[in-house]
Chain A
Amino acid sequence: DAKTTQPTSMDCAEGRAANLPCNHSTISGNEYVYWYRQIHSQGPQYIIHGLKNNETNEMASLIITEDRKSSTLILPHATLRDTAVYYCIVRPSNDYKLSFGAGTTVTVRA
């Protein structure tokens, strides 16, 4: 029962912004949106999360639509080290479990 839909893969150019979309049309009012990434053979790395408002930190920006049915992760200046699988996850505030789907394989090219 996938709660999010992401493209299977995408390429982006080094130095350009990478915009990663995620659909979560069945999201509930108490569910947060989280973004993680996983580089091969490493543990998932937390990037950013949000509930309703747009969020920004040192790694990325998260844009959540007003109806909360979709979101976009923005990596402002992609580098080769940003090549990874990116996961968009929706989780209720009262649940401990993070459910990782297939994610988007992002390849940053020089």
Chain B
Amino acid sequence: SQTIHQWPATLVQPVGSPLSLECTVEGTSNPNLYWYRQAAGRGLQLLFYSVGIGQISSEVPQNLSASRPQDRQFILSSKKLLLSDSGFYLCAWSVRGVGQPQHFGDGTRLSIL
């Protein structure tokens, strides 16, 4: 069966520091991959999605970037964190194809001090 791993589960970072969150998927090949953010008291917002290695699409302008160095690895990064980057970051995957559901990881709770 397919599994998705995100780490770390929680992270506290100072303003201006760099960020790297990693997500890996097991048990499937050529998945679509996604990064979402859930700010406190708000719904999920799609940040990036990827349909293949090196292919990244950004949904909203922001202080973050994403990369997909391997088929089942998706990385969310920032060079300098802002206070507004705090939130709950979720990685998800889906099988390619029409209407396929997305499956989420357990998320990383990021606090910026």
Contact = CB atoms under 8 A, between A and B. Distances in A.
Does B bind A?
A: yes
Interface in B43-79: 43-44, 46, 49, 57, 59
A110 interface: no
A46 B103 contact: yes
A49 B43 contact: no
Given A99-B43, A101-B43, A43 B102 contact: no
B59 A97 contact: yes
Q: Which of B57, B90, B101, B106 is packed against the most chain A CB atoms within 10 Å?
A: B101
B7 interface: no
Given A42-B107, A44-B104, A96-B34, A51 B99 contact: yes
B99 A100 contact: no
A46 B4 CA distance: 13
A80 B105 CA distance: 22
Contacts of B36: 98
Contacts, number: 43
State the majority secondary structure of interface residues on B. Answer: strand
A8 interface: no
Interface residues of B, number: 21
B98 A34 contact: no
Nearest to B100: A49
A45 interface: yes
A43 B90 contact: yes
A72 to B, nearest CB: 18
B24 interface: no
A32 B106 contact: no
A46 B90 CA distance: 14
Nearest to B109: A41
Q: Which of B98, B99, B106 is packed against the most chain A CB atoms within 10 Å?
A: B99
A59 interface: no
Contacts of B43: 99-102
Nearest to B103: A46
A69 to B, nearest CB: 19
